[in-house]
Amino acid sequence: MKLETKITVETRSPVEFVKHFAIEVEEKGTRIEFESPLFASYLGKLPGNYVAGAGVWDGFTFKVPRNGLPFTDWYLSYSAGLFPSEGDLPNFIWLFEDGFLKTGKLSILLPIPLAPNDLEDYFSQAMDRFRGAYLNKLRMIRLSASMVDLAPPKESEKKDE
Amino acid sequence: MSRIDKVGFEIEGGWDGKKGVSPFSDISLIADHSINGQTRAGAPAIAAVHVGEAVSKPFPYDPKEPWIEWLSSHWPNAVPPHRTNRTCGFHIHLSTKSMKDYSLLASKSFLMELKETMEAEGKAIKLPKKHVFWERILGFNTFCPLDFDPAEQMKVSRKGGRNRYGWLNFSWTLHKTMEFRALPTFRDAAVALRFTLAYLQFVEEWLEANQTLSLRREASLSL
């Protein structure tokens, strides 16, 4: 049996994908602030069982279908320029918690310092990617996906066909 | 209240004592092949009973007396020509109470101002021009070049590799410390202590003076 879900998010132009983004080194670590009501709205429309708010990098999946959803966890981490290499920087697992879905705002504290030149690099990379994502109008203006149940049909269903 | 949390020391050199028996009751010397005692550029070889590296435990920065006493009592004590040479380094590790302070120290302005301060200290006590101190503090020593790459150093998760052989080494992942590597093992403990106190005092004063430096980058996209 196939399940198909279409999710469409249409936005007016001008579009604000990321309303606010900040990185700051504080006394207890590096804080990342991220605000995207658009992205929260998009995530909120996904069926619940397709959003896994798991607490580990490898554990999160969107069960990406053939058409592809642009905003997988990997993509967003990539967008922010924060790569989870050698466990030094966690991923955006918090992004998919209820709080973000309701407010579109995220504030996380990573228990590490950043060298000033790293801070500049991460920030610049993130801004470049956010602008790149915005400029891809096909994605920003209409986001749609078909979620397909990839389980093979049962034998009885095959005979009926 | 101090901004430095803890300090630790690594001293390379030569010590007197009994062969096969550690010269200290609290630590054993660590073998260090970078100070193999071979003569370099006319410097005397280290001909001591024990040749290696004395590594302290981390001490709270305050009070100062315990680590000052440790430095004095563990300083290389072989006969003067043989207790140190130009291959021997004296490295000072420190950790900060605040991660923001650690990040501030990873700025080029800190490095350059520290270099100026150390040079002034060397001139104040009239270290001879040929003293190995100048070779190291000016960045001409292969084990402490004036390279500056704190971001990559902070990510190093295992020992080995040349990345850590900088004038400063930001050993965050391994030790949560910044390591100052530019000082030589001075012949006299009193001179080493003078430079240690000058260095740590500079760190405290520099951090205090630079708290308003911003480590925040932000933007709002509105297109």
Concatenate the DSSP letters of all residues of B85-154 into one string: -TT-EEEEEEEESSHHHHHHHTSHHHHHHHHHHHHHHHHHTT--TTSHHHHHHTT-STTS-----HHHHH
SS3 A30: strand
pLDDT in tens, A122-141: 777 666 656 654 444 333 33
Give the long-range contacts of residues A138-142, CB within 8 A, separation 24 or more. Answer: A139/A70, A140/A11, A140/A15, A140/A17, A140/A38, A141/A10, A141/A11, A141/A13, A141/A15, A142/A8, A142/A9, A142/A10, A142/A11
pLDDT of residue B81: 77
What the block records as the tokens of A58 is 């490898």
Q: pLDDT tens across B157-211, in order?
A: 777 666 677 899 999 988 999 999 999 999 999 999 999 999 999 999 999 999 9
| φ/ψ of residue A141, rounded to 5 | -80, -40
Distance from CA of A150 to the nearest CA of B (A): 38
Structure tokens at A115: 């060298």
Q: Predicted ipTM?
A: 0.84
Q: Are B192 and B118 in contact (CB under 8 A)?
A: no
Closest-CA residue of chain A to B218: A22
Across the interface, whether the CB atoms of A25 and B103 are under 8 A apart is answered yes
Q: What's the pLDDT score for residue A89?
A: 34
Residue found by looking up tokens 């003067």 in the block: B80
* Full pLDDT tens readout for chain B, 223 residues: 999 999 999 999 999 998 888 889 999 888 766 665 554 555 566 778 888 999 999 999 999 999 999 999 999 999 887 889 888 999 999 999 999 999 999 999 999 999 999 999 999 999 999 999 999 999 888 878 888 889 888 888 777 666 677 899 999 988 999 999 999 999 999 999 999 999 999 999 999 999 999 999 988 765 4
Within 8 A of B150 by CB-CB distance, chain A residues are 115, 117-118
- C-beta atoms of A113 and B106 within 8 A: yes
Element (H, E) at A130: helix A116-135
Judged by a CB distance cut-off of 8 A, whether residue A112 touches chain B is yes
Say what the pLDDT of residue A131 is: 60
Q: What is the mean pLDDT of residues A73-81?
A: 36
- Residues of chain B whose C-beta is under 8 A from some C-beta in A? 98-100, 102-104, 106-107, 150-151, 154-155, 157, 170, 172-173, 215-223
Q: Is A118 an interface residue toward B (CB < 8 Å)?
A: yes
Peptide bond into A84 cis (omega under 30): no
**Nearest CB neighbour to B216, from listed A20, A22, A27:** A22
Cβ within 8 Å, pair A115-B215:
no
Query: Does the pLDDT value for residue A76 go beyond 70?
Result: no
Nearest CA to CA, how far is B171 from chain A (Å)? 12
CA–CA–CA angle B4, B180, A123 (5° rounding)? 75
When CB atoms are compared, the residue of A17, A23, A116 closest to B106 is A116
